[in-house]
Structure 1
Amino acid sequence: MITDEEIRKVIAPLLLSGAKMLDKHCPKCGSPLFEKDGKVFCPVCEYREKQKKEKVKGVEEKLTEKLTQLANSLPEDIDELEKYLKIMGKIIEVLEKYRRLEGGR
């Protein structure tokens, strides 16, 4: 289902830009399909995919920042160092999962 936000942020600007709303609908989300410059597309699905990628990128940036902070403050005590390395390993695992979600970056 299309939200009011998507209508305001995606569909209305498309109509104003000269894109043609077609009498066909997206099988995935139900939005009207549009045509612009010879390309038929679902603006809502494209918008949602972009939002998802931005969210994943934000999480990835935060994890990378935390990983850098940990790497820059490694303790000399071996027990503490082992804890840091375990945490860093988990962060790397999560980063790899996010990168796979993002399309293998």
Structure 2
Amino acid sequence: MMALTNEEIRKVITPLLLSGAKMLDKHCPKCGAPMFEKDGRVFCPLCEYREQKKRQEMKGIEDILMKKIRYLVNNLPEDLEELERYLDIIEKLIRILEHYKKLEG
């Protein structure tokens, strides 16, 4: 679990309090932060923030992998040996991409 700075914690919690969310006297079993309630939903804002950051990082990795795959596909060589090397690299990138998608979902 990534540690959040005090500044990040304030950036997550302050808008919740200003929007009318209630800080509860219960704590998150996962990270120990105070739980909040808003619109009938009880949640840990810090765990949600971490999850959102993780999804953004995964999306960035996915974008980079797709860009590399597109580049290789658009620049396939004529030489058969070189073509096989490109296809091996593309296959490995696709496997990595599938792995990240499984982690995400």
TM range (shorter): over 0.9
Task: Determine whether 1:45 maps to 2:47.
Answer: yes
Instruction: Provide the TM-score with structure 2 as the length reference.
Output: 0.93
Partners in 2 of 1:2 and 1:31 — Cα distance?
A: 11
Give distance in 1, aligned partners of 2:4 and 2:71.
41
Uncovered stretches (5+) of structure 1, i.e. residues with no partner: none
The 5 Å alignment of 1:1-105 reads 2-103=4-105
Q: SS where residue 16 of structure 2 aligns?
A: helix
Deviation, 1:8, is: 2.2
1:65-105: per-residue Cα shift (whole Å, max 9, x none)? 110000000000011101101100100000000110110xx
- Number of equivalences: 103
Q: Output the CA distance in 1 between the equivalents of 2:31 and 2:92.
A: 35
Secondary structure at 1:71's aligned position in 2? helix
Residues 45-65 of structure 1 deviation map (CA, whole Å, 9 limit, x = unaligned): 011001101100110011001
Q: TM-score normalized by structure 1?
A: 0.93
Give CA deviations for 1:11-38 in whole Å, capped at 9, x if unaligned. Answer: 1111111100001100101110000011
Matching residue's letter, 2:87 = L
Q: Percent identity?
A: 65
